[in-house]
Structure 1
Amino acid sequence: MSLGDEHEASGGYGGTGQTRTRLPDTGSDPYGTPRRPRSSSRSLVTVVGVVVLLIAAIAFANRGGGDGSSSAGGSANKPEAASTAPSGQRPVQAKTGAIPSGFAHDQQGVESAAANYAVALGSADMFDKAKRDAVLRGIIAPSRVAGFEARLDKAYTPEFNKNIGLNEDGSAPEGFTFVSRTSPIGTKVTEYSAGSAAVEVWCSGLLGLAGENSTTPVTNSWFTITMQLEWTNSDWKIVTHSQKDGPTPVPGDDRASSADEMAKAVEEYGGFTYAR
């Protein structure tokens, strides 16, 4: 049986069990002139069709709007795309001290305020009494400032400062750079009215002393700050504030930077004004 006869009898080389015998190599293709692949145009049409369907499915999944209902269990509770996408609104231009102020009187404005206030609450200034009081006057509702000052004075004690490697007054020891930074990852409004709102801010934070032989090196943490804010004096200000751990991602395998690299980064990289 010739190779051509074998192919036709078996319905193809991968067909019904016929054994294919390969002839000795004669310096040319033992299978003769290559056959034109069958149904290549059909395969191309299939591939193109799959790609078109995939693009359409992605576009449909990313559409905003809709009534949010779905027959799939639990999907109705997922946020719409618009709830996590940036608004594109310009950040505020005014500042109270070093803290952004003059936020819009709407949900986007209160989210922007909460994100920027989270940064202020997690800054190194909070470890210095005079600077901390200035921060509080910029972000706390006037009627609540005295209460916040009293509570935080009890938290940021000389003993607490010493435990994290600082001097009793909150300054960094000579030869060390103190790092305390908070970066908002996202915000969520849980309650809103024209006069008040509750906002959760998911954050990542850095805290520690950068320097040779530091016993409290800079470490990373994840936490969520919940703020109750009110509209007062034409701006959003904090009334109450609390914090809980997480959500926390799985740590990566990145190499930790040296003390010099970390200190240099803190000194050279500035912060942001956050807008929803």
Structure 2
Amino acid sequence: MSLGDDHGYGDSARTDASGEYGGTGTTRTRLPESGPYGGARRGRSSSRSLVTVVGVVVLLIAAIAFANRGDGDSGGAPDTADKPDTAPTAASGTDPVKSSTAGVPTGYSQSEQGAQSAATNYAVALGSTGMFRKADRHALLDALFTRDAAARLKGPMDQAYSTGFLDSMGLDENGDPPEGSTFVSRVSPMGTTVEEYTDTTAKVAVWYVGLIGMSGERSTDPVTSTWKTWTFDLSWTDGDWKIVEDAQTDGPAPVPGDDRAATSDEISKAIEEYGGFTYAR
């Protein structure tokens, strides 16, 4: 659950209990192996001039399409066969929750929108720095997973977040960074989609960009970004959506731009000054 290859977990270490860990339960959760997000930073292949040209072409095509848009139905009925359903990217306007547990919004509506809001906020929580601290990690598991899934996950996760793993991330045995450094582990969702839904179960995929690394003058593991899709199997349990199983896949990732990489101080300042959100569908 926190970040790693496939969101903080290795490709081979699994348990049937969580989907990213090894075991014999029903929930699958990846364990950390190489780092919370995993994957090397990609080199930049595009040039500023190419981006400018592409941008101009896109704007030109959009302008032509807008100018030629007709008010009548002159082109016949559009072919919508085999096209996936889409949903607006704006929030529904319905308050997602009115309570929280372990610092995470909980108490969602028993609806597709409620399931999407739950999955999105759960991804943010499970991608946070709290997952690197045992007490916080256990609290998050108890709050977000079904009882059986949480019970099966705690042992494997504690082993995964071993002292050796934390040390490889630049953290001490308690999951804290060195003095003067800021450990970054954050998930920023881009959107969601409901793959399956009933009144008591839902499968929701969350597309997100993750940040992971250590910001500090002496850091050898700078903060990098990664794009992944995190899919949650949810169950309506005890009046709320709970995670039964989860899995992650890479991407889809956009082409890297030519943005100047921020300095360590700039990243630390941004992490401290810019807080997160409660997401609502």
User: Does the aligned pair in 2 maintain the 1:177–1:211 contact within 8 Å?
Assistant: yes
With over 3 angstroms needed to count, the CA separation of the structure-2 counterparts of 1:223 and 1:215, relative to structure 1, is same
Q: State the 1:267 CA deviation.
A: 1.0
The separation in 1 between residues aligned to 2:218 and 2:101, in whole angstroms, is 38
From 256, 263, 266, the counterpart of 2:268: 263
1:229-240 map, 5 Å: 229-240=234-245
The separation in 2 between residues aligned to 1:244 and 1:234, in whole angstroms, is 29
From 223, 227, 234, the counterpart of 2:232: 227
User: Does the aligned pair in 2 maintain the 1:141–1:237 contact within 8 Å?
Assistant: yes
With over 3 angstroms needed to count, the CA separation of the structure-2 counterparts of 1:80 and 1:198, relative to structure 1, is closer
Bigger drift between 149-158 and 111-120 goes to: 149-158
1:17-28 map, 5 Å: none
User: Does the aligned pair in 2 maintain the 1:118–1:225 contact within 8 Å?
Assistant: yes
Does residue 113 in structure 1 map to residue 118 in structure 2? Answer: yes
Partner in structure 2 of residue 242 of structure 1: 247
Secondary structure of the structure 2 residue equivalent to 1:82: coil
Does residue 123 in structure 1 map to residue 128 in structure 2? Answer: yes
Partner in structure 2 of residue 54 of structure 1: 69
Secondary structure of the structure 2 residue equivalent to 1:77: coil
With over 3 angstroms needed to count, the CA separation of the structure-2 counterparts of 1:218 and 1:70, relative to structure 1, is same
Q: State the 1:196 CA deviation.
A: 0.8
AA aligned opposite 2:69: L
The separation in 1 between residues aligned to 2:229 and 2:275, in whole angstroms, is 23
AA aligned opposite 2:193: K
With over 3 angstroms needed to count, the CA separation of the structure-2 counterparts of 1:91 and 1:55, relative to structure 1, is farther
User: Does the aligned pair in 2 maintain the 1:70–1:76 contact within 8 Å?
Assistant: no
Partner in structure 2 of residue 272 of structure 1: 277
Q: State the 1:165 CA deviation.
A: 1.6
- Runs of 4+ in structure 1 over 4 Å off: 50-53
User: Does the aligned pair in 1 maintain the 2:131–2:137 contact within 8 Å?
Assistant: yes
From 156, 165, 177, the counterpart of 1:160: 165
Secondary structure of the structure 2 residue equivalent to 1:209: strand
**TM-score scaled to structure 1, two decimals?**
0.73
AA aligned opposite 2:213: G
Partner in structure 2 of residue 18 of structure 1: none
Deviations 1:141-184 (A, max 9, x none): 12221112122112211111111221232110111101100011
**TM-score scaled to structure 2, two decimals?**
0.71
Unaligned runs of 5+ in 2: 1-64
Using the aligned pairs only, state the percent identity: 50
Partner in structure 2 of residue 214 of structure 1: 219
Q: Who wins on radius of gyration, i.e. which is larger? A: 1
AA aligned opposite 1:167: D
User: Does the aligned pair in 1 maintain the 2:96–2:114 contact within 8 Å?
Assistant: no
Partner in structure 1 of residue 16 of structure 2: none
User: Does the aligned pair in 2 maintain the 1:186–1:202 contact within 8 Å?
Assistant: yes
Deviations 1:92-123 (A, max 9, x none): 12111210001000000000000000001100
RMSD: 2.3
The separation in 1 between residues aligned to 2:148 and 2:194, in whole angstroms, is 23
The separation in 2 between residues aligned to 1:80 and 1:97, in whole angstroms, is 34
1:83-94 map, 5 Å: 84-94=89-99
With over 3 angstroms needed to count, the CA separation of the structure-2 counterparts of 1:55 and 1:124, relative to structure 1, is farther
Does residue 171 in structure 1 map to residue 186 in structure 2? Answer: no
Does residue 146 in structure 1 map to residue 139 in structure 2? Answer: no
Secondary structure of the structure 1 residue equivalent to 2:81: helix
Which has a greater percent of helix? 1
Q: State the 1:78 CA deviation.
A: 3.1
From 179, 194, 197, the counterpart of 2:199: 194
Does residue 252 in structure 1 map to residue 257 in structure 2? Answer: yes
Partner in structure 1 of residue 3 of structure 2: none
How many residues were matched structurally? 216
User: Does the aligned pair in 1 maintain the 2:183–2:214 contact within 8 Å?
Assistant: yes
Secondary structure of the structure 2 residue equivalent to 1:180: strand
The separation in 2 between residues aligned to 1:216 and 1:113, in whole angstroms, is 31
From 99, 104, 111, the counterpart of 2:109: 104
